């Protein structure tokens, strides 16, 4: 499975929206340099309040550009970085990946997928109804979270729009993604 990096984003502040950049640097075990969520331990404010010592499994947030397409078709005005993602990709079925899949981004950066992003009500502050739009139900009524995946950095590197994305699957048996 191959894709492309469409955009990269980071923000030093704890805000939902992250400005797009010409490049970002990923640091092993920490995340995106200069991003508020960079760190070995959890950096999301609500999670810090519960347990500041827990390991940061949400160092990098990756969203598929196909979600932006879907949201725009539904009448939402969205663009890369606006939903809090650090990396926007195209051509990779992020939600279909198993836990532990590795995303090779550009020349050397590697992000190991830890789970699904659990969307939060802050999305509705961007546009009313946005949170509901990134949730769905399958044929059995099971909740589908469409707001991308979270991961940890396992190899340093700079990434830019236009860089290749290559997926490396973990050994079988594969475990489906769960919210982290």
Residue 162 lies in a domain: no
CA–CA gap between residue 6 and residue 64 (Å, rounded): 9
* pLDDT tens digits along 151-160: 999 999 999 9
- CATH number, domain containing residue 42: 2.40.33.20
What local confidence, expressed as pLDDT, does residue 14 receive?
92
Residue 73 lies in a domain: yes
Residue 86 lies in a domain: yes
Residue 166 lies in a domain: no
Residue 39 lies in a domain: yes
Q: Which domain holds residue 13?
A: 2-53+62-98+107-150
Q: 0.85 exceeded by the pTM? A: yes
Residue 30 lies in a domain: yes
* Residue 134 and residue 67 in contact, taking contact as beta carbons nearer than 8 Å: yes
49 Cβ partners below 8 Å, 6+ apart? none
Which residue in 46, 67, 69, 70 sits closest to 58, CA to CA?
Answer: 46
Pairing status of strand 2-9 against strand 87-90: antiparallel
* Residue 26 and residue 156 in contact, taking contact as beta carbons nearer than 8 Å: yes
pLDDT at 135 over 90: yes
Domain count, the chain: 1
Mean pLDDT, residues 86-92 taken together: 98
* pLDDT tens digits along 28-58: 999 999 999 999 999 988 888 888 899 999 9
Residue 66 lies in a domain: yes
CA–CA gap between residue 76 and residue 133 (Å, rounded): 9
Average pLDDT over the chain, rounded to an integer? 96
Mean pLDDT, residues 131-143 taken together: 95
Helix or strand (DSSP H, E) at 179 = none
């Amino acid at each position: 499975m191959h894709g492309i990096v469409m955009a990269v984003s980071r923000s030093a502040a704890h805000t939902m929206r992250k400005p797009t950049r010409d490049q970002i640097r990923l640091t092993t075990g920490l995340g995106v340099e200069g991003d508020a969520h960079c760190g070995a331990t959890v950096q999301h404010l609500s999670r810090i309040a519960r347990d500041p010592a827990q390991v940061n499994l949400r160092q990098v947030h990756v969203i598929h550009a196909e979600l932006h397409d879907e949201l725009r078709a539904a009448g939402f005005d969205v663009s890369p970085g606006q939903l809090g993602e650090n990396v926007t990709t195209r051509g990779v079925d992020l939600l279909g990946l198993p836990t532990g899949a590795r995303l090779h981004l550009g020349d050397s950066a590697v992000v190991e997928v830890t789970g699904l992003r659990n969307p939060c009500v802050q999305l509705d502050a961007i546009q009313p109804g946005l949170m509901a739009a990134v949730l769905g139900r399958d044929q059995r009524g099971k909740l589908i979270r469409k707001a991308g995946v979270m991961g940890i950095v396992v190899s340093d590197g700079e990434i830019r729009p236009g860089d290749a994305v290559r997926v490396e699957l973990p050994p079988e048996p594969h475990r489906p993604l769960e919210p982290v």
